[in-house]
């Protein structure tokens, strides 16, 4: 893929490293001279020390053949302008970091794929790691729901329980749903007659009100 990454800060640099290592053609646009020089020295890609809010800069970056433009700066107005210009050039994939939730409607109108403020995501991850140490991964779907991934322990209330009887028995709280299960290296879609076993890795959809009880149901961890 031919990717244009705007911004070579912490988020942009990590993205560039991953993209280059995966064999993609990457062009970086960075307005800060020190960051541009550092990126040029570190990564095997073209780095432009310029302003991505200019058509001429984007043309120099080869935007007319870009598969995606990804804007990672810490200024939403810059990211919005980059997305608008990329849209004018009919770039098929527009991706941007968004820092202020009030700006979400603008990005959505453009049609960009949005990534939450990275600092907020890191803070959420750290908090969940402390609050729910048995949760191996989580994805916040919105302000009230999320997906959590955890491994069923031997003494968990759900160990040995069928899913279709779990809520009635009180083992699984209402507002929670097992959406995926991995057993012996095989991922399967659980059904009502699926019986949960210790050692299963389950992905659970849950609302915030049920999160603590859902974690406890599979790990006997009252966090």
pLDDT digits (tens, 9 = 90+) for 154-193: 989 999 989 988 888 888 888 889 999 999 889 888 988 9
Q: What is the pLDDT of residue 196?
A: 93
Residue 130 has pLDDT above 70, yes or no: no
Q: Average pLDDT of the chain?
A: 89
Comparing C-alpha atoms, which of 103, 202, 205 is closest to residue 153? 202
Q: Which residues pair with 139 in a beta bridge?
A: 147
Decide: 146 and 206 in contact? Cβ < 8 Å. yes
Residue 39 has pLDDT above 50, yes or no: yes
Percent of the chain with pLDDT over 70: 92
Give the contacts of 97 (CB within 8 A, at least 6 positions apart): 11, 71, 72, 73, 74, 79, 114, 115, 116, 117, 118
- For domain 2-115, give the fold: Rossmann fold (3.40.50)
Higher pLDDT, 83 or 208: 83
Q: What is the pLDDT of residue 125?
A: 67
CATH 3.30.70.1450 is the classification of domain 121-219:
yes
Decide: 187 and 203 in contact? Cβ < 8 Å. no
Decide: 25 and 4 in contact? Cβ < 8 Å. no
Decide: 156 and 200 in contact? Cβ < 8 Å. no
Q: Which two tokens stand for residue 118?
A: 């990275």
**CATH 3.40.50.720 intervals, the chain:** 2-115
Q: What is the pLDDT of residue 221?
A: 61
Percent of the chain with pLDDT over 90: 58
Q: What is the pLDDT of residue 121?
A: 65
pLDDT (average), residues 117-125: 66
Higher pLDDT, 157 or 114: 157
Q: Which two tokens stand for residue 170?
A: 């009180």
Q: Sorting pLDDT into bands at 50, 70 and 90, what band is 23?
A: very high
Q: What is the pLDDT of residue 58?
A: 96
Q: What is the pLDDT of residue 223?
A: 47
**CATH 3.30.70.1450 intervals, the chain:** 121-219
pLDDT (average), residues 130-146: 76
Q: What's the CA gap between 212 and 69, in Å, rounded?
A: 39
């Amino acid at each position: 893929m031919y990717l244009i990454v705007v911004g070579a800060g912490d988020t942009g640099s990590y993205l560039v490293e991953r993209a280059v290592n995966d064999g993609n053609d990457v062009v970086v646009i960075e307005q800060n001279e020190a960051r541009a020089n550092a990126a040029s020295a570190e990564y095997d890609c073209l780095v432009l020390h310029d302003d991505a809010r200019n058509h001429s800069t984007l043309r120099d970056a080869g935007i007319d053949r870009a598969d995606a433009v990804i804007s990672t700066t810490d200024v939403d107005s810059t990211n919005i302008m980059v997305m608008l210009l990329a849209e004018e050039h009919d770039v098929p994939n527009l991706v941007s970091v968004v820092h202020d939730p009030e700006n979400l409607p603008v990005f959505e109108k453009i049609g960009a794929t949005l990534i939450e403020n990275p600092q907020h995501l890191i803070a959420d991850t750290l908090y969940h790691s402390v609050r729910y140490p048995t949760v191996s991964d989580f994805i916040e779907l919105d302000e009230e729901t999320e997906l959590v991934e955890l491994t069923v322990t031997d003494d968990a209330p759900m160990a040995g329980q069928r899913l279709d009887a779990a809520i009635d028995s009180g083992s699984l709280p209402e507002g929670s749903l097992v959406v995926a299960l991995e057993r012996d290296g095989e991922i399967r879609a659980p059904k009502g007659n699926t019986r949960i076993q210790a050692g299963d890795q389950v992905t659970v959809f849950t609302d915030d009100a049920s999160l603590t009880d859902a974690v406890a149901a599979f790990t006997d961890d009252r966090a």
